[in-house]
């Protein structure tokens, strides 16, 4: 049935937008603490993530980790869990609602309900200069979900086994020594590290364009809780043209884990799980 605009359509559209979750009541992270210790960090681990694969890593609370571009432009898909409880995992949707579609220094990565606490704080971002480009594209999005073999089969009819969803699943299965089918249920919507994305102006469809990341670029986090992470080096490479295939040129990504001075560890705020009693009025 054809739908016609009501006579007061313009008036209805003219309502003023209101930010749904103004985060100003949250205390901002004290990133000056990180600046003071950065020169004296001790590297305690590093994990090289091969192209079209994923690897896991662990970061203790109040320790610092960096995801670093090496060799060439490459996008990474990041999952985070509480180190001792896989049911507490990164909540891409609420992170987006609180901090916007793309995250940079000062943003926190939140865990899913009912836990709802900061899992990690972004403390530095060498692509922070990018902002939003003329297409509306920005870096490090919490819009996209992760490339996966189900959507690929739906749209192309073929099967591809190195989508980020599959890479993250295999990496978690290895880490936890659990069946792949069980591990898969813990894989969740990602932070798209280094990916340049936005919504098209006309149809508001999710788009990607060549990532501006170059070797040496990094994004740095402080772990607000003990973390288990998994990072996939996306088969889309710099995500300039395609994903979910072997077509794109791909590069490794490096995860570096650092221990700061003890006074930083003592000073960095503890991130408690939500104190909401979960009665839901009952």
> Of 78 and 234, which has the nearer Cβ to Zn ion?
234
Residue corresponding to tokens 């402080």: 222
Burial of 240 (0-12, 13-18, 19+ CB in 10 A): middle
CB 224 within 8 A of CB 273: no
Angle at 266 between CA 35 and CA 39, to 5 degrees: 25
* 47 lines the binding site for Zn ion (CB under 5 A): no
Residue corresponding to tokens 């073929």: 158
Query: CB under 8 Å to 27, separation ≥6 — which residues?
Result: none
* 147 lines the binding site for Zn ion (CB under 5 A): yes
The separation between CA 60 and the C-alpha centre of its own chain, rounded to angstroms, equals 18
Radius of gyration of the CA atoms of the chain, in A:
20
> Of 124 and 232, which has the nearer Cβ to Zn ion?
232
Token pair for residue 268? 């960095």
- Least spacing, CB of residue 151 vs Zn ion, in Å: 11
> Of 77 and 238, which has the nearer Cβ to Zn ion?
77
* 234 lines the binding site for Zn ion (CB under 5 A): yes
Interface mask (CB under 5 A) for Zn ion, residues 54-93, using x and -? Answer: -----------------------x----------------
- Least spacing, CB of residue 240 vs Zn ion, in Å: 13
- Least spacing, CB of residue 261 vs Zn ion, in Å: 36
> Of 41 and 168, which has the nearer Cβ to Zn ion?
168
- Total residues interacting with Zn ion, rule: CB under 5 A: 4
Question: What is the C-alpha end-to-end distance of the chain, expressed in Å?
Answer: 43
Length reported for the chain: 282
* 195 lines the binding site for Zn ion (CB under 5 A): no
- Least spacing, CB of residue 19 vs Zn ion, in Å: 30
CA distance 75 to 138: 13
> Of 77 and 224, which has the nearer Cβ to Zn ion?
77
Span interacting with Zn ion, options 32-40, 94-102, 137-145, 162-170, rule CB under 5 A: 162-170
Among residues 149, 136, 125, which one has the least CA distance to residue 31?
125
- Least spacing, CB of residue 82 vs Zn ion, in Å: 24
What b/e string do you get for 217-239 counting C-beta neighbours within 10 Å, with b at 16 or more?
A: bbbbbbbbbbbbbbbbbbbbbbb
Span interacting with Zn ion, options 38-46, 59-67, 116-124, 226-234, rule CB under 5 A: 226-234
> Of 118 and 167, which has the nearer Cβ to Zn ion?
167
Q: Quick one: how many helices (H) and strands (E) in the chain?
A: 7, 13
* 183 lines the binding site for Zn ion (CB under 5 A): no
Residue corresponding to tokens 């990341």: 213
Alpha-helical regions (H) of 38-188: 92-99, 149-156, 164-176, 180-184
> Of 77 and 175, which has the nearer Cβ to Zn ion?
77
* 164 lines the binding site for Zn ion (CB under 5 A): yes
Span interacting with Zn ion, options 39-47, 112-120, 144-152, 214-222, rule CB under 5 A: 144-152
> Of 164 and 254, which has the nearer Cβ to Zn ion?
164
* 191 lines the binding site for Zn ion (CB under 5 A): no
* Binding-site ranges for Zn ion (CB under 5 A): 77, 147, 164, 234
């Amino acid at each position: 049935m054809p739908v016609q605009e009501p006579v007061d359509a313009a008036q209805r559209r003219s309502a003023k937008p209101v930010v749904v979750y103004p985060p100003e009541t949250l205390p901002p992270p004290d990133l000056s603490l990180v600046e003071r210790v950065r020169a004296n960090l001790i590297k305690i681990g590093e994990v090289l993530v091969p192209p079209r694969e994923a690897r896991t890593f662990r970061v203790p609370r109040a320790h610092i980790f960096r995801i670093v571009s090496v060799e060439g432009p490459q996008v990474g898909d990041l999952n985070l869990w509480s180190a001792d409880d896989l049911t507490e995992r990164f909540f891409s949707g609420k992170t987006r609602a609180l901090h916007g579609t793309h995250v940079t220094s000062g943003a926190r990565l939140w865990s899913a309900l009912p836990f709802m606490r900061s899992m990690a704080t972004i403390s530095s971002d060498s692509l922070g200069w990018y902002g939003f480009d003329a297409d509306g594209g920005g870096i490090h999005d919490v819009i996209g979900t992760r490339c996966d073999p189900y959507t690929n089969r739906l749209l192309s009819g073929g099967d591809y086994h190195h989508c980020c969803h599959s890479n993250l699943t295999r990496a978690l299965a290895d880490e936890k020594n659990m069946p792949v089918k069980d591990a898969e249920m813990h894989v969740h919507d990602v932070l798209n590290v280094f990916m340049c994305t936005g919504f098209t102006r006309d149809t508001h469809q999710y788009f990607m364009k060549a990532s501006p990341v170059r070797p040496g670029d990094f994004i740095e986090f402080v772990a607000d809780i003990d973390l288990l992470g998994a990072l996939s080096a996306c088969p889309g490479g710099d995500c300039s043209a395609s994903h979910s295939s072997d077509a794109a040129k791909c590069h490794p990504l490096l995860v570096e884990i650092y221990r700061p001075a003890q006074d930083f560890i003592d000073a960095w705020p503890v991130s408690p799980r939500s104190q909401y009693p979960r009665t839901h009025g009952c």
